[in-house]
């Protein structure tokens, strides 16, 4: 549980060279670097990971007739990409409202998860109170509860509150997650020294000011990763928005479903929808993919 | 942390002064005592309202006649459960769910470990390769399903066309149950294999390197090292991934829902999963929340049962190995 920091040091810190040299000598056999077979394997893996996305771009830049006649698309995109995207934007699926809804839902969910998880993580990691241990175990245990199966009553509750079809119905259930609380607890346990908290307290900070001025700044790297993962999760979420929002006030995945149901014969249009709805996350990936990788690997060692 | 109370001034004879100090002192103590609970309360409140309550209330709904619009009806005991279990569609859905789950989880774990082992080598451009395998993760399941349902199209699909060039007959991906399960499992594998590979990679890097040194001295080959050191040391991670895959995989909805434009799981419901069946009962033609809730509870019990089974099996396996336990017990 305390192994994450040594792990990071191993790849980036002072002992990295020694560790790497040792590893090279062992897993690399006689060669210092792995041979071309390794790179070939990785190249194939990368192609498998990337081709379906490229395939969507290829189809989105084509037209329905060409797609029907050529099951195997050409290697390079054709010229209709922007035309097809334009058709998606004006199609009868409320693309713009869906995009705005997705941005609102994902952003608010990510912000809220970060704030509440950091608050709870600060409390679990650094404050002493009765029941702390059992409560934390409870939080972890809830991760194994398939809450998606409670959708029937959740839907009943949302319709009683007159929230069906409204974004609040999607945002509220995701406002704080067990994973987030656990993640921030783990991080703050190591990243936030008691001395800092005590110094703030001696200076007369209330608890909430201590949180705001000491814990939150210390939590920033982990909070950014948590925000990323929550954003991606929220952006790609389909089941619950599909049920509670419906086609009247969709998020992007719901709009995509609508696009498929309405225009299922025109794959250039459907794939253009796939492309535009995926672009924002690909941008996130280009900017912050490194953080996603680090986040998954850190979480793995801790979890 | 220790309770730090404000510095105590020497008590003045005036009446007002000590009262103010006493008040702020009490406030400070309340702050210290209550804040921890206040800060963790949002999670527990939200879990109670949107997680626990709905799950428990599902049991209540499941023993009643309950209509999507009409609302609560008569108490019917276990009639909903009986109705559901007697439906051939329910058994089909159960079969499909398990079939898709096995086809997606088993190859995925194996492939992820292999990819992780390759990524663990002393590569050039490490971050590039790691990011590369993670790329599919940012594509929404709905979008993945749209892409792959076209790749796996029965007519004019790319995969059938490629099979045709090597002389294999076209496979009816949208008609044959097993073929459709394979296609849907491929979507799941596409999105999650790289993600899980990174988790395995992190676990591999945490394996003490002197174990390998000892193995080299003992004359173990690299393959032997992999199976005798790496895989046993990965056991806690494998357990973790299998359990999360079980919880998520048995509730699968997005990919099969989008596998064709009708979203019913095929003409014979050959790829309809349990969650899709739940949706069909509650929000489809029947609009029977009672039956949908019954299905939810059955699936819940199945997931819990398999979770316990997983736990028991892995407990037994890992007690024979020299692995440390994950997660539990360190605090």
- B110 at the A interface (CB within 8 A)? no
CA B38 to chain centre: 29
Domain range for A52:
4-80
Task: State the Rg of chain A over Cα.
Answer: 24
Contacts of B311 in chain A (CB under 8 A): none
Note whether A282 contacts B: Cβ–Cβ < 8 A. Answer: yes
Residues 206-245 of B with CB under 8 A from A: 206, 209, 212-213, 216, 222, 237, 240, 243
Rounded to the nearest angstrom, the gap between the alpha carbon of residue A140 and the centroid of all alpha carbons in its chain is 19
The answer to whether position A89 is within a domain reads: no
Q: Are residues A122 and A261 in the same domain?
A: yes
pLDDT score of A42: 93
Question: What local confidence, expressed as pLDDT, does residue A23 receive?
Answer: 52
B155-204 pLDDT tens trace: 888 999 999 999 889 899 999 999 999 999 999 999 999 999 999 999 99
In a domain, A207, yes or no: yes
Asked if residue A114 and residue A30 are part of one domain, the reply reads no
User: Is the confidence at residue A223, as pLDDT, over 80?
Assistant: yes
- The predicted model gives A204-210 an average pLDDT of 88
- CA B3/CA A201 separation, integer angstroms: 9
Where are the alpha helices (H) located in A192-266, listed in sequence order? Answer: 194-202, 207-210, 216-218, 220-236, 239-244, 252-262
Contact A56 B198 (CB under 8 A): no
Owner of token pair 């792959």:
B148
Give yes or no for A74 touching B (CB within 8 A): no
**Contact across the interface for A71 and B198, Cβ inside 8 Å:** no
The answer on pLDDT for A196 being more than 70 is yes
Looking at the DSSP bridge assignments, the partners of residue B64 are B75
Determine the pLDDT at residue A22: 52
pLDDT per residue over A98-119, tens digit each?
999 999 999 999 999 999 999 9
Residue A95's H or E segment, with its range, is: helix A95-126
Choose among B119, B196, B151, B152: nearest CA to A54.
B151
Q: What is chain A's mean pLDDT, rounded?
A: 85
**What is the per-residue pLDDT for B142?**
95
In which band, very low, low, confident or very high, does the pLDDT at A300 lie, cut at 50, 70 and 90? Answer: low
Interface with A, mutate which of B7, B142, B217, B223 (most A CBs under 10 A): B142
Q: How many domains does chain A have?
A: 2
Gap between the Cα atoms of B303 and B87, Å rounded: 20
Domain B79-320 listed as CATH 3.30.70.100: no
Residue A284 in any domain: the answer is: yes
- A12 located within any domain: yes
Identify whether residues A213 and A65 lie together within a single domain: no
* Residue pair A54/B240 in contact by the 8 Å Cβ criterion: no
pLDDT in tens, A234-292: 999 999 999 999 888 999 999 999 999 988 888 999 999 999 999 999 999 999 888 88
Lowest mean pLDDT, pick from A192-196, A216-220, B24-28, B163-167:
B24-28
Consecutive 10-residue averages of pLDDT for chain B (331 residues): 44 46 74 89 93 90 87 85 90 95 92 92 88 93 95 90 91 93 96 93 89 89 87 86 87 93 89 94 89 93 87 68 40 33
pLDDT for residue B1: 39
In the numeric block, which tokens belong to residue B178? 């097993």
Mutate: best of B139, B153, B197, B218, partner A, most A CBs <10 A: B139
In this predicted structure, what is the pLDDT of residue A236? 94
| Beta-carbon separation of B35 and A49 below 8 A | no
Residues of A in contact with B297 (CB under 8 A): 149
**Residue B329's pLDDT is what?**
34
Q: What is the CATH number of the domain that holds A252?
A: 1.10.3720.10
Q: Of A37, A54, A80, which residue constitutes the final position of a domain?
A: A80
The total of other beta-carbon atoms located within 10 Å of residue A165's CB is: 15
Domain contains A283: yes
- A110 and A220, same domain (yes or no): yes
Query: Do A166 and A243 sit in the same domain of this protein?
Result: yes
pLDDT score at A115: 95
Contact A55 B53 (CB under 8 A): no
Contacts A204 to B, Cβ<8 Å: 6
pLDDT at B2: 40
**Residue A87 forms part of a structural domain:** no
What pLDDT, on the 0 to 100 scale, is given for residue A239? Answer: 94
Residues 6+ apart with CB under 8 A from A49: B132, B133, B135, B136, B190, B194
Which residue among A21, A55, A80 closes a domain?
Answer: A80
CB contact residues (below 8 A), chain A span 87-106, against chain B: none
Give, in order, the Cα–Cα distances in Å from A124 to each of A112, A131, A136.
18, 10, 7
Q: What is the pLDDT, as a whole number, of residue B151? A: 94
Q: Dig out the tokens for A53 from the structure.
A: 């996305």
Asked if B122 contacts A34 with a C-beta cutoff of 8 angstroms, the reply is yes
Nearest Cα neighbor of B128 from A52, A46, A11, A36 is A46
The answer as to whether A90 is a domain residue is no
Q: Is the pLDDT of residue A3 over 70?
A: no
- Of A37, A55, A80, the one marking the end of a domain is A80
Quick one: which of B186, B182, B181, B175 has its CA closest to B95? B181
Q: What is the pLDDT of residues B91-107, one digit of tens each?
A: 999 999 999 999 999 99
Residues A211 and A173 in one domain: yes
Residue A292 shares a structural domain with residue A170: yes
Grouping H, G, I as helix, E, B as strand and the rest as coil, residue A92 is coil
Pairwise CA distance, residues A97 & A245, whole Å: 12
């Amino acid at each position: 549980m305390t192994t994450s920091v040594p792990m990071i040091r191993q790849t980036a810190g002072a002992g990295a060279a020694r560790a790497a040299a040792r590893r090279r000598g062992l897993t690399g056999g006689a060669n210092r670097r792995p041979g071309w077979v390794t790179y070939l394997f990785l190249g194939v893996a990368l192609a498998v990971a990337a081709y379906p996305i490229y395939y969507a771009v290829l189809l989105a830049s084509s037209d329905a007739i060409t797609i029907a006649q050529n099951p195997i698309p050409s290697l390079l995109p054709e010229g209709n990409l922007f035309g097809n995207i334009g058709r998606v934007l004006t199609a009868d699926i409320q693309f713009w409202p869906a995009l705005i809804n997705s941005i609102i839902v994902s952003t608010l969910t990510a912000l809220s998860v970060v704030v509440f998880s950091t608050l709870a993580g600060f409390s679990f990691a650094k404050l002493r109170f009765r029941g702390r241990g059992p409560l934390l175990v409870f939080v972890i245990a809830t991760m194994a509860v398939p809450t998606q199966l409670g959708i029937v009553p959740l839907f009943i509750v949302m319709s009683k509150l007159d929230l069906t079809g409204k974004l609040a119905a999607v945002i509220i259930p995701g406002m704080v997650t067990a994973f987030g609380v656990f993640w921030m607890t783990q991080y703050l346990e190591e990243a936030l020294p008691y001395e800092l908290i005590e110094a703030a307290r001696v200076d007369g900070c209330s608890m909430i000011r201590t949180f705001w001025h000491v814990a939150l700044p210390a939590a920033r790297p982990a909070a950014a990763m948590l925000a990323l993962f929550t954003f991606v999760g929220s952006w790609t979420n389909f089941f619950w928005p599909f049920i509670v929002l419906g086609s009247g006030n969709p998020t992007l995945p719901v709009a995509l479903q609508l696009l498929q149901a309405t225009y299922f014969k025109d794959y250039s249009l459907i794939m253009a929808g796939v492309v535009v709805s995926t672009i924002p996350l690909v941008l996130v990936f280009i900017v912050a993919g490194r953080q996603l990788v680090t986040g998954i690997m850190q979480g793995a060692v801790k979890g | 942390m220790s309770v730090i109370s404000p510095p105590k001034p020497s008590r003045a004879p005036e009446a007002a002064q000590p009262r103010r100090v006493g008040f702020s002192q009490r406030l400070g103590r309340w702050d210290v005592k209550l804040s921890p609970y206040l800060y963790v309360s949002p999670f527990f409140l939200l879990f109670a309202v949107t997680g626990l309550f709905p799950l428990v209330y599902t049991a209540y709904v499941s023993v009643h006649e309950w209509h999507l619009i009409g609302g609560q009806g008569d108490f019917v005991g276990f009639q909903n459960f009986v109705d559901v279990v007697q439906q051939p569609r329910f058994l089909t859905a159960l079969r499909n769910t398990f079939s898709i789950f096995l086809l997606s989880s088993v190859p995925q774990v194996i492939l992820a470990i292999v990819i992780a082992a390759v990524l663990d080598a002393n590569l050039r451009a490490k971050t590039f390769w790691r990011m590369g395998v993670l790329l599919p993760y940012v594509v929404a399941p709905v979008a993945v399903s749209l892409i792959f349902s076209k790749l796996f199209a029965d007519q004019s699909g790319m995969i059938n066309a490629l099979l045709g060039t090597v002389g294999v007959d076209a496979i009816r991906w949208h008609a044959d149950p097993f073929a459709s399960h394979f296609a849907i499992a491929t979507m799941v594998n596409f999105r999650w294999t790289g993600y899980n590979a990174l988790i395995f990679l992190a676990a591999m890097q945490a394996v003490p390197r002197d174990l390998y040194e000892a193995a080299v001295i003992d004359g173990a080959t690299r393959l032997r090292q992999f199976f005798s050191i790496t895989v046993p040391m990965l056991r806690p991670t494998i357990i973790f991934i299998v359990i999360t895959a079980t919880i998520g995989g048995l509730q699968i909805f997005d990919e099969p829902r989008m596998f064709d434009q009708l979203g019913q799981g095929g003409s014979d419901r050959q790829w309809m999963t349990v969650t899709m069946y739940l949706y069909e009962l509650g929000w489809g033609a029947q609009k029977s929340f009672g039956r949908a809730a019954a299905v939810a509870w059955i699936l819940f019990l199945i997931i819990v049962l398999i979770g316990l089974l997983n736990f028991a099996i892995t407990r037994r396996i890992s007690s024979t190995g020299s692995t440390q336990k994950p997660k539990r017990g360190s605090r």
